[in-house]
Structure 1
Amino acid sequence: MYLCRHGEAVAKAPTDAERPLTERGRAEVLSLWQTLREEGVSVGRMVASPYRRAQQTALCIAQAFGGMEQESCGYLVPEAQPERFLEWLMLQPEQENLVLVSHMPLVSLLTATWIGEPCSRPAFRVGSVAALDVDVAAANGARLLWLRGPERPC
């Protein structure tokens, strides 16, 4: 499973949910996922927060893989509770290489909950992705394989 934070977004919009990605954000997400594809990563189902920047991030990921469908899930919004999302996920059919696109603090909270280290809270820069080996959609049900973000000059 791949858990992603959306790419870089503009700072202001009429509402938080309407904030779009910047051109840099789009380019970074596309570049990272093209690299991951070249390294052998494959993706299956993709589920994203309904917020505009998450939907746009999902489109960039799909573009890196030649197109794929995406779904929206209200349990992936920034203020969502990890437990609620995990309950929703347990009701879904098992899926290899599931891609989830969400926001901080949820991506960090979900990762920490899944790996059984609630105090660790991994840092997700914008556009970052964590690969998780998930045994069960519950606390302490996964192992963090890696966490990568877009390449940025110093």
Structure 2
Amino acid sequence: MELYLMQHGQAVAKEEDPEQPLSREGVEAIKASAAAIRRMGLHFDVIIASPKRRSRQTAALVAEAVNYPYSDIVETELVKPMTAPGETLKFLQQYLGEGAVLIAGHLPSLGEIASSLLSDGSKVHLHFENGGLCHLSVPNLPTYEAQLRWSLTAAQLAMLAK
């Protein structure tokens, strides 16, 4: 499986809106990242989002850019911010036969998922930021033998989008 991990776009403050949807800047950044994803020729067999609004919005913007049906986005509690990586990886096992899977998720869970896939016990620290995209090749689940293919920041994706 080719696993893509994307942190949701910048959200509004909880005090402004308790649901914390994407901010105007967050929407624009995700649109730029999504345009880069399209330009790179990436496609996804499965797109997964958490039930949090900013995650669903991020997944929807990427889905729109790559012509993935919005109604097919899988929403699950198992990619929420504090979900244990083992639970998420167990959930992902059902998608092993799929070619490319995108998770539009949150920190710290995205970093924990990547670390669990790349190392047997020691902590691997990968930099994630709003709208960035990390690509891992995952031969099996559970595994500690995933390969980090690349990781791009939102600014790098925006440059690719042009």
Query: Under a length normalisation based on structure 1, what TM-score does the superposition of the two structures give?
Result: 0.89
What 5-or-longer segments of structure 1 have no aligned partner?
Answer: none
Is 1:23 aligned with 2:27?
A: no
Q: Paired residue for 2:153? A: 149
Q: Paired residue for 2:7? A: 5
Query: Any residues of structure 2 matched to 1:69-148 within 5 Å, and which?
Result: 69-92=72-95, 94-116=97-119, 118-148=122-152
Q: Which has the higher helix share?
A: 2
Shift of 1:73: 1.1
Shift of 1:141: 3.4
Query: Under a length normalisation based on structure 2, what TM-score does the superposition of the two structures give?
Result: 0.85
Give the SS at the match of 1:132: strand
Shift of 1:91: 3.4
Q: What is the CA RMSD across the aligned residues, in angstroms?
A: 1.9
Q: Is the 8 A contact 1:30 1:63 kept in 2?
A: no
Q: Is the 8 A contact 2:44 2:68 kept in 1?
A: no
Q: Is the 8 A contact 1:29 1:61 kept in 2?
A: yes
Please give the alpha-carbon distance, in whole angstroms, between the structure 1 residues aligned to 2:144 and 2:93.
14
Shift of 1:61: 0.3
Query: Any residues of structure 2 matched to 1:15-54 within 5 Å, and which?
Result: 15=18, 18-54=19-55
Q: Paired residue for 2:65? A: 64
Shift of 1:92: 4.0
What 5-or-longer segments of structure 2 have no aligned partner?
Answer: none
Does 68-77 or 83-92 show the bigger shift?
Answer: 83-92
How many pairs were matched up?
Answer: 151
